[in-house]
Amino acid sequence: MSQVNKVTDSRSPIKTIGFIGTAQIGGSLARLSVKAGFNVVLSNTRDPQSLEPFVKELGLLARAATIAEAIAAADLVVAAIPLPVYKSLPANLLAGKIVIETLNYYPLGGFNISALDENKFTSSELVQQHLIGSHVVKAFHNIGYPHISLHARPAGDLERTTVPIAGDDDDAKELVEKFINAIGYDTVDAGSLAESWRIEPGTPIYYWPYAPPVPEGLSEDEARKLYLTQKVEPLRPEGAMALIAETERQFPVGGRLDILPPIHLTINGEYANSRY
């Protein structure tokens, strides 16, 4: 991967990113954050010791901590945990913080939220309602984790792609945009959290603009190689805005695993079994 923009400006208000959830998405964003020069403080549900191998991989800018410590140290928090447990995010500790949330609604295995099924709220609105004192920004929920590192590029690179963000606070969105720009992506503003259904699972900007089609009939090794390395046409900001504008409200609401390439599920499963 090419080096992304280094954060060399000592006046940058964002120096330390706190991660709640350090698996596929949190881990991928932590790698890009360190490459861009941010400090990262990593946390999961377990003892920080469980993250030491990952800290070692990331180097001097990384450390592992409890969730409370990761929040306290953070200028910006990334919450990358499963939606079914969003209420375990500590609202009191997160008050006043900007929180990027990457959570997606997949009504699977008996899990569902009727307010989402009935389109009363978006999943991000539920997270914001829980994190009442925080500034929630939805981002990096719409790109499969193997592709987050693959597509990161410095500003101005012709292969740089674009991700959407959504949120209710313009200042928070501006800071998140700067962070995302620094770790290798252009951004577009998809609107408020109430409007974030336009970028949820199943919408045109979800997943496929960043993932290569995987033809049937390939061996698992061939599919893996293609899926992990094949470039796709970068999504320009104007293309991203066009996809968002053409989106119609989804019904039924929520993501479906059966429309993702089987190799995506294989790789996710392998990661889940081997994660730090």
Ligand X SMILES: NC(=O)c1ccc[n+]([C@@H]2O[C@H](COP(=O)([O-])OP(=O)(O)OC[C@H]3O[C@@H](n4cnc5c(N)ncnc54)[C@H](OP(=O)(O)O)[C@@H]3O)[C@@H](O)[C@H]2O)c1
Question: In the complex, which residues of this chain contact ligand X (CB under 6 A)?
Answer: 20-26, 44-46, 67, 80-83, 85, 88, 102-104, 141, 144-145, 268, 272, 275
**Could you tell me the smallest distance in angstroms from the CB atom of residue 270 to ligand X?**
12
Q: How far is 269 from 113, CA to CA, in rounded Å?
A: 24
Q: Which is nearer to ligand X, 1 or 108 (CB)?
A: 108
- Per the CB < 8 A criterion, the answer to whether 61 and 40 are in contact is yes
**Could you tell me the smallest distance in angstroms from the CB atom of residue 49 to ligand X?**
11
Residue that the structure tokens 């989402």 belong to: 116
**Could you tell me the smallest distance in angstroms from the CB atom of residue 186 to ligand X?**
18
Q: How far is 92 from 104, CA to CA, in rounded Å?
A: 23
**Could you tell me the smallest distance in angstroms from the CB atom of residue 3 to ligand X?**
24
For residue 25 the two structure tokens come to: 């998405």
H helix runs in 230-261, sequence order? 237-245
Q: Which is nearer to ligand X, 23 or 34 (CB)?
A: 23
- Per the CB < 8 A criterion, the answer to whether 197 and 249 are in contact is yes
Q: Which is nearer to ligand X, 7 or 180 (CB)?
A: 180
**Could you tell me the smallest distance in angstroms from the CB atom of residue 162 to ligand X?**
16
- Per the CB < 8 A criterion, the answer to whether 184 and 152 are in contact is yes
DSSP string, 46-99: S-GGGGHHHHHHH-TTEEE--HHHHHHH-SEEEE-S-GGGGGGS-HHHHTT-EE
Q: Which is nearer to ligand X, 12 or 112 (CB)?
A: 112
H helix runs in the chain, sequence order? 24-35, 52-58, 67-73, 91-94, 114-117, 123-130, 145-151, 170-183, 220-229, 237-245, 262-274
**Could you tell me the smallest distance in angstroms from the CB atom of residue 144 to ligand X?**
4
Q: Which is nearer to ligand X, 157 or 271 (CB)?
A: 271
Q: Which is nearer to ligand X, 19 or 38 (CB)?
A: 19
